[in-house]
Amino acid sequence: MSLKKSVNHQVPFFLLRLHNLQTRIVMLVDMDYFFAQCEELRNPAIRTKPVVVCVFSGRSEESGAVSTTNYVARSYGVKSGMSIFLAKKKLKNVDAAFLPVDERYYEEVSGKVMNILRKYADRFEQAGIDEAYLDVTQRTNGRFQEAKELAVSMKDELKGQLKLTCSIGIGPNKLVAKIAADEKKPEGLTTIAPEGVKEFLSPLNVGRLLGVGTKTQEKMHSLGISTVHELAEYDPQELNDIFGRTMGIYFHNAALGIDDEFDEERSEVESFSRIATLKHNSRDLSFIMETAERLCSEIQKLAVTERMNFRTVGIIAILKDLSAHTRSKTLENPTSSLEVLYENAKELFEKFFNETEGEARRVGVRVSNLSREQTNQKQLTSFI
Ligand code: DCP
Ligand code: CA
Ligand code: CA
């Protein structure tokens, strides 16, 4: 057993309210008309014109495809994937800028963008040259309003530092965040809290779901499914039969706004903790343990729900002078036992008050060193 000690932690892990582990807040930040915006950045004079970034195939000035366009060009119906020939036709007699792609330059701008975005995330995942997912659950205390304010600050910084705009979607998972980001462009900010997910997704065309391409969409239409609501209502077993089990389950869940990826991330949760203010300042162990017992019980229930065992038990005591003191102890074996948690927390508080003068104002309990409880099935296969 090891006994760790640290004093005056300014921001203890305890500040994270536990229910937030279930209500995630995820943002998808997607830069507006990225390649074309980069071109405007180095040559602001073209801003007011249609800007068409082209992948020239080399045979003639008109062979090749449009990579992307600014929104001025989009108002003429010119967009990504279109042939340069058609784009030129649509912009006939218009003063437009047709430019070749310069990926190295866009990569360089992308790097600067990502460096700014990364600062705003608890967890960060770049998902393309011009987009990234940010898990902001912890730093927004699980509050969507705070996430929205964070998004506004981030937009301001991107504009201030790099003179670039983006569109942001905020949701309870990646799937919803991505669709929300597509909702309003350019310079959009769309927030979908968990209670609004169903209403938001239901009327959308199934094509808005990641993984539903033109072919799948046609297939779905032939089954009478055109909206996300219709997909959500469709017999999941039939979806499995038609699209295969993996995609069937994915489509069903996606239509309900459920995104499994966070189950994986949950295993990365490092600790469960609770903190409470005592009814009055005290250094009396039995009085403190009345509160600590409740905290232990809440934490243990959560560990059981999450099917996690813990190996380290920690306590925190915030004294009258607001100094924060922590103690922790690592057990021989992982456990989820309430009794073990309680007894170890008690021992740590006892030891702490023997060593320290002063009365506690707030006390907290934390478990960490988490491991996923093995299911019987896993145990069986691990013998094979
Ligand atoms: N891109 C491309 N060919 C495509 C789609 C995209 O070369 N068919 C490139 C150019 C885009 C960049 O990838 O600038 C990012 O793609 P997005 O789909 O995010 O599109 P944009 O950023 O251009 O526009 P939007 O404002 O709609 O996000
Ligand atoms: Ca984009
Ligand atoms: Ca993108």
**Per the CATH hierarchy, to which homologous superfamily does domain 23-33+105-198 belong?**
Reverse transcriptase/Diguanylate cyclase domain (3.30.70.270)
Cβ neighbour number for residue 156 with a 10 Å cutoff: 10
What would the mean pLDDT of 258-268 be, rounded to a whole number?
A: 51
Cβ neighbour number for residue 150 with a 10 Å cutoff: 21
pLDDT of residue 12: 41
Pick the residue whose CA is nearest to atom 2 on ligand 1: 67
pLDDT of residue 374: 62
Ligand located closest to 101 CA: 1
One CATH from 3.40.50.970, 3.30.450.150, 3.30.1490.100, 3.40.190.10 for 271-372: 3.30.1490.100
Active site residues: 131
Report the C-alpha gap between 283 and 320 in whole angstroms. Answer: 11
Query: How would residue 61 be classed by pLDDT, with cut points 50, 70 and 90?
Result: confident
- Which range is most confident: 2-6, 19-23, 115-119? 115-119
Q: For the chain, give me the number of helices (H) and strands (E)?
A: 15, 14
Could you give the percent of the chain with pLDDT greater than 90? 75
Q: Answer yes or no: is pLDDT of 264 > 50.
A: no
Report the C-alpha gap between 115 and 45 in whole angstroms. Answer: 27
Q: What's the CA-to-centroid distance between 206 and ligand 2, angstroms?
A: 20
User: Do you find a cis peptide bond into 186, omega within 30 degrees of 0?
Assistant: yes
When comparing pLDDT for 3 and 339, which is higher?
339
Half-sphere exposure of 90 (CA within 13 A, CB side): 20
Q: What's the CA-to-centroid distance between 164 and ligand 1, angstroms?
A: 15
**SS3 at position 287:** helix
Q: Is 188 in the pocket of ligand 1 (CB under 6 A)?
A: no
Pick the residue whose CA is nearest to atom 23 on ligand 1: 33
- What residue ranges do the domains of the chain occupy? 10-20+200-255, 23-33+105-198, 36-102, 271-372
Q: Is 291 in the pocket of ligand 1 (CB under 6 A)?
A: no
What would the mean pLDDT of 45-49 be, rounded to a whole number?
A: 98
Q: Where are the beta strands (DSSP E) in 8-58?
A: 26-31, 51-56
Q: Where are the beta strands (DSSP E) in 224-288?
A: 271-282
The DSSP letter of residue 3 is E
Report the C-alpha gap between 34 and 54 in whole angstroms. Answer: 13
One CATH from 3.40.50.300, 3.40.1170.60, 3.40.309.10, 1.10.1740.10 for 36-102: 3.40.1170.60
Closest atom of ligand 1 to 71 CA is 26
Determine phi and psi for 118, rounding to 5 degrees: -55, -35
